[in-house]
Structure 1
Amino acid sequence: MNRYQPLLERQREFFFTDATKSLAWRQEQLDRMERMLRENQDAFCQALYQDFHKPPFEQQFEITVPLGVIRYYREHLAELMAPQPVAIPAGLEATGNRGVIHKEPYGVALVIGPFNAPILLLLDPAIAALAAGNTVVLKPANTTPTVAALFQRLVPRYFRAEAVSVVTGGREEIGALLELPFDFIFFTGSSAVGKVVMRAAAEHLTPVILELGGQNPTVVDMTANLDIAADRIAWGHNAISGQWCIAPGYVYVDRRVADDFLARLKRSLTTMYGEDPRQSPDFARMISEHDAERVAGYILPDKVVHGGRHDVAGRYVEPTVLYPSTWDDPAMRQEVFGPVLPVLPFDDLRDVVETIKRKPKSLAAYIFSKDQRAIDYFLSSVSFGGGCVNQTNLHCWIDSLPFGGVGYSGMGKYYGKAGFDALSNTKALLIGNPDVPLDVFPPYAGKDIAASLRLFA
């Protein structure tokens, strides 16, 4: 028998009691989650630093955002759970029928988190799942072992095992979990592993949300505020040492302002991380020596206009800018997921858009411009999960903006109401009038069929 079968059965049997469907149970789980975060904030921050030297702001961010998600659900949960009346054809409504949508939980949800935001990107989906009335099995990333061990220690102190449980480990443990017929799977990670998760889910017809990644395009045109663009791209690309799925992956800059933009970008990087970013308390490390070596391999010395230094043993790659990059360069052939930023010049935005459209769809995209026609053209022509205009990355912090990918970068959206809806089955109901006849049944001879059909028009 699969070693995690008893865990799944325990949570499923508890789910079958219908206890999780009450407002009180859901609010209790939110309260427990909030206490776990607040009472162990220092321990979580220390674990983040120990695993890959996350700087203080990025540590606090991983606590603050889930607390904001909890607050949103606490304030809106009763409204989200309430049956929703919907319009139905006038003929049916006139005979006393009405349409209603009920949101019901799926059951037992498996949430598999990534390493780059190992608290936030594990707990945000879990909070949505609990708010929607599901039980949850958490699988933290094995590449952040200190954080994973902390979850393993804390979760049993704050939650009953039939409500929330933790499984730690690596590929073997994930494989065993994916063999089981969970009611929902939420995975955040690479597209390659996302395919594995989706294949496993297909065996049980389990619904999934896949929050993946890809190369996120960024465009800077000649009308852009170059100081603003440089600051926001420098931070957006290099926070978490470039290891987040919404980081600008490459920058197309109008050739007429390319030199000016590059000068400002280099100045922004120096202002943020100093002449030697290795000494900066605000610059994280790569998650492993393997990843440091991989990212360092993207650096082409003849194209380095800023940075370029690295120390594989120290899991350090300096914030690096490559120019002029082309699609033949190693850093342009896949998601870099590290602090190496390719910059490409362009002459015509239409050529840029036509190129991007033919690449795998990205999780995010960004454009810096004051030309509304250019902005509208880019937004209407390029498909991506979500993004920003004259900003980077911050859209993923706002619970009113559904977050997720499209195509290669994932499927399904969450955050706020979108998260509640995604982790709920939409049960559509037609409530009939028990006392008013509605004769649409055989025999049809002699009946006004057209009049009957008008009931549904």
Structure 2
Amino acid sequence: MEREVQRVRAAFGSGRSRPLTFRRRQLEALRAMVQERERDILAAIAADLSKSEFNAYSQEVITVLGEIDLVLEKLPEWAAAKPAQKNLLTMLDEAYIQPEPLGVVLIIGAWNYPFVLTIQPLIGAIAAGNAVIIKPSEISENTAKVLAKLLPQYLDQDLYAVVNGGIEETTELLKQRFDHILYTGNTAVGKVVMEAAAKHLTPVTLELGGKSPCYVDKDCDLDVACRRITWGKYMNCGQTCIAPDYVLCEPSLQDLIVQKVKEAVKEFYGENIKESPDYERIINLRHFKRIRSLLEGQKIAFGGETDEATRYIAPTILTDVDPETKVMQEEIFGPILPIVPVKNADEAIQFINEREKPLAFYVFSRNTKLIKRMIDRTSSGGVTGNDVIMHFMLSSLPFGGVGEAPPRVQWDGSVSRKTQFRYFFASTSLFVKKPEARRCKQTPVSSQQPVEGRLGETVLPETAQQREARASAADPPGRRAGGAHEGWILLKSDPCCLLILSPELFFYQIVNEPIIFKSYQKL
């Protein structure tokens, strides 16, 4: 593993990943891979998650293609140096911020959307000029095999390497030094990744999970609300990080919500859900057993059927759920929807705030003031009002979390299409002074003479009256309005420093001498 990382680092050291033309060619090659090998990719996703071709394409492939097109369009703008604001001391110099690639990046992909959640950060890393080690999730083994097969056929094999394997291989990878690590997955592994990265002071981007509550107000369009909750909850068999995790509502709404969600499930998946091509399966047996165990001791109002042989768990609704039970203590990440009755919106706010901050929060209400109040009084990674998941669909909105559901971007709380690129480069501050410039002179204390005036004022020639007044006041030699300092502009003063601009546009900085200023005329 160490040799593989060193090989990729040596390729990065050659500098060939830096030119924009090279980055564009690699992104175009990646797009060609997705378009030309679409069938292989869709088949792998179907083998891992029993996902229909339409769902796999619409949820994963089309997102990747759109991402590549956008980055190709915006890359010249994003990668360009940005001028920095200058002050009077540096007004004739060059100051700018240059995006620089970080180096060798490790991307550890997720299994729930195994293609898009691995390739999307790869797009950003390539666009930023990095070399990349890609570690697909071993849980979605078919997609991992396809990525290991296809990526070397289309991308530079020295700069972009795929490493497959399980815990042992990932542990060995994390012992190596990287310039950035991106991990998508659960909190427990996220802590392991962060601990390993800390040994090398490697910056980390973690995209973890969390429970995403959904509050349904009595003043809402319940038919629309339940259809949208059903779509977001049972898509990908509930294995979506921002799926509605549980519902909060007044007790009088509970039975109505159950009935309307049942109707929506039948509309989406038909009478025989198990045979529906649009209903996926749990990724593996371990996760199947974990999710099934959450049903123990619960009041099942709808669904509840399971089949271990095919890893099938039916869309399920639980009612009158006790907040202290297991299903409310961890992210469900499966097709189980608990309903927790609350008295009102204030109790819902209190319920949410007493727990870990949600990755997403959903509110259904016709009352926009109520929606705003719930947003203002809670903290979460993102909020959608009167819908679910849609804040993620809008590329101009940052995406991320807070608390134990941290962001995809390194500690700034958000990720958007541009920041997919941004968090894979360093902002280098550059300042270039023109060699012919002699504008700044350090004046020795012994040679300085006090100057009268106010900041921003021009020192004018001394008048006859001023000379007479100065003579009668017995001012010390050199404390004069004009003379050697005639035409100078005072730019900065404090008890120990004076910065002035001479008529020749030379800066003079006089330090370590108390200065007394007297105002006599403004500009």
For Structure 1 versus Structure 2, the TM-score category normalised by the shorter chain is: over 0.9
Q: What one-letter code is carried by the residue in structure 2 that aligns with 1:41?
A: E
Report the alpha carbon displacement of residue 441 of structure 1 after superposing the two structures with TM.
8.2
The SS at the match of 1:102 is: strand
Which of 144, 158, 181 matches 2:140?
144
Equivalents in 2 of 1:432, 1:222: separation in Å?
66
Deviations 1:302-338 (A, max 9, x none): 5111101111222111100001112112210100110
Report the alpha carbon displacement of residue 155 of structure 1 after superposing the two structures with TM.
1.4
Aligned pair in 2 of structure 1 residues 325, 96: CA closer, same or farther (>3 Å)? Answer: same
Tell me what 2:106 maps to.
110
Report the alpha carbon displacement of residue 56 of structure 1 after superposing the two structures with TM.
2.5
Report the alpha carbon displacement of residue 85 of structure 1 after superposing the two structures with TM.
1.9
8 Å contact from structure 1 (residues 319, 340) kept in 2: yes
Tell me what 1:74 maps to.
72
Equivalents in 2 of 1:353, 1:179: separation in Å?
42
Tell me what 1:62 maps to.
60
Range 289-298 or range 205-214, more displaced: 289-298
Aligned pair in 2 of structure 1 residues 145, 88: CA closer, same or farther (>3 Å)? Answer: same
Equivalents in 2 of 1:79, 1:385: separation in Å?
28
Q: Within the alignment, does 1:41 sit opposite 2:77 as a pair?
A: no
Aligned pair in 2 of structure 1 residues 259, 135: CA closer, same or farther (>3 Å)? Answer: same
Tell me what 1:428 maps to.
429
8 Å contact from structure 2 (residues 249, 344) kept in 1: no
Range 352-361 or range 18-27, more displaced: 352-361
The SS at the match of 2:382 is: strand
Equivalents in 2 of 1:292, 1:452: separation in Å?
73
Which of 201, 206, 218 matches 1:205?
201
Q: What one-letter code is carried by the residue in structure 1 that aligns with 2:335?
A: P
Aligned pair in 2 of structure 1 residues 443, 203: CA closer, same or farther (>3 Å)? Answer: farther
Tell me what 2:7 maps to.
10
Tell me what 1:248 maps to.
244
Q: What one-letter code is carried by the residue in structure 2 that aligns with 1:323?
A: T
Report the alpha carbon displacement of residue 296 of structure 1 after superposing the two structures with TM.
1.2
Q: What one-letter code is carried by the residue in structure 1 that aligns with 2:34?
A: L
Deviations 1:82-129 (A, max 9, x none): 11123345x446x43454221111011110011110000000011111
Equivalents in 2 of 1:76, 1:51: separation in Å?
34
Equivalents in 1 of 2:216, 2:62: separation in Å?
31
Q: What one-letter code is carried by the residue in structure 1 that aligns with 2:255?
A: D
Larger Rg: 2
The SS at the match of 1:21 is: coil
Aligned pair in 2 of structure 1 residues 310, 437: CA closer, same or farther (>3 Å)? Answer: same
Equivalents in 1 of 2:161, 2:103: separation in Å?
14
Equivalents in 2 of 1:205, 1:252: separation in Å?
41
Range 123-132 or range 308-317, more displaced: 308-317
Which of 62, 79, 83 matches 2:81?
83
8 Å contact from structure 1 (residues 92, 98) kept in 2: no
Report the alpha carbon displacement of residue 212 of structure 1 after superposing the two structures with TM.
0.4
Q: TM-score, normalization: structure 2?
A: 0.82
Report the alpha carbon displacement of residue 189 of structure 1 after superposing the two structures with TM.
0.3
8 Å contact from structure 1 (residues 56, 282) kept in 2: no
Q: What one-letter code is carried by the residue in structure 1 that aligns with 2:324?
A: D
Aligned pair in 2 of structure 1 residues 214, 440: CA closer, same or farther (>3 Å)? Answer: farther
**Structure (1/2) with the larger helix percentage:** 1
Tell me what 1:319 maps to.
315
Tell me what 1:165 maps to.
161
8 Å contact from structure 1 (residues 300, 322) kept in 2: no
Alignment of 1:313-352 (within 5 A): 313-352=309-348
8 Å contact from structure 1 (residues 362, 385) kept in 2: yes
Equivalents in 1 of 2:375, 2:268: separation in Å?
30
Aligned pair in 2 of structure 1 residues 204, 79: CA closer, same or farther (>3 Å)? Answer: same
Root-mean-square deviation (CA, aligned residues, Å) is 2.2
Unaligned runs of 5+ in 2: 451-491, 501-506, 508-523
8 Å contact from structure 1 (residues 368, 391) kept in 2: yes
Tell me what 1:214 maps to.
210
Report the alpha carbon displacement of residue 297 of structure 1 after superposing the two structures with TM.
1.3
Q: Within the alignment, does 1:417 sit opposite 2:395 as a pair?
A: no
Tell me what 2:458 maps to.
none
Aligned pair in 2 of structure 1 residues 321, 372: CA closer, same or farther (>3 Å)? Answer: same
Q: What one-letter code is carried by the residue in structure 1 that aligns with 2:287?
A: D
8 Å contact from structure 1 (residues 69, 399) kept in 2: no
Tell me what 1:22 maps to.
19
Equivalents in 2 of 1:374, 1:446: separation in Å?
67
> Matched residues, percent identical?
34
8 Å contact from structure 2 (residues 365, 371) kept in 1: yes
Report the alpha carbon displacement of residue 231 of structure 1 after superposing the two structures with TM.
1.0
Equivalents in 1 of 2:248, 2:177: separation in Å?
44
Tell me what 1:125 maps to.
121
Q: Which has the higher contact order (CA 8 A, sep 6+)?
A: 1
Deviations 1:345-368 (A, max 9, x none): 222212211221231122222111
* Matched length: 451
Deviations 1:268-322 (A, max 9, x none): 1121122331111111000112211111111146511110111122211110000
8 Å contact from structure 2 (residues 254, 339) kept in 1: no
Unaligned runs of 5+ in 1: none
Q: What one-letter code is carried by the residue in structure 2 that aligns with 1:72?
A: L
The SS at the match of 2:224 is: helix
Tell me what 2:172 maps to.
176
Report the alpha carbon displacement of residue 18 of structure 1 after superposing the two structures with TM.
2.1
Aligned pair in 2 of structure 1 residues 390, 5: CA closer, same or farther (>3 Å)? Answer: same
Aligned pair in 2 of structure 1 residues 101, 315: CA closer, same or farther (>3 Å)? Answer: same
Deviations 1:235-276 (A, max 9, x none): 111111111111111111233433322221121112112233
The SS at the match of 2:350 is: helix
Equivalents in 2 of 1:163, 1:44: separation in Å?
22
8 Å contact from structure 2 (residues 352, 378) kept in 1: yes
8 Å contact from structure 1 (residues 125, 414) kept in 2: no
Q: Within the alignment, does 1:260 sit opposite 2:256 as a pair?
A: yes
Aligned pair in 2 of structure 1 residues 438, 155: CA closer, same or farther (>3 Å)? Answer: same
8 Å contact from structure 2 (residues 304, 314) kept in 1: yes
The SS at the match of 2:404 is: helix
Q: Within the alignment, does 1:155 sit opposite 2:151 as a pair?
A: yes
Q: What one-letter code is carried by the residue in structure 1 that aligns with 2:65?
A: L
Q: What one-letter code is carried by the residue in structure 2 that aligns with 1:405?
A: G
Q: Within the alignment, does 1:281 sit opposite 2:296 as a pair?
A: no
Q: TM-score, normalization: structure 1?
A: 0.93
Equivalents in 2 of 1:415, 1:232: separation in Å?
24
Report the alpha carbon displacement of residue 436 of structure 1 after superposing the two structures with TM.
4.7
Tell me what 1:292 maps to.
288
Range 71-80 or range 322-331, more displaced: 322-331
Tell me what 2:440 maps to.
438
Report the alpha carbon displacement of residue 440 of structure 1 after superposing the two structures with TM.
6.6
Q: What one-letter code is carried by the residue in structure 1 that aligns with 2:82?
A: Q
Equivalents in 1 of 2:498, 2:2: separation in Å?
52
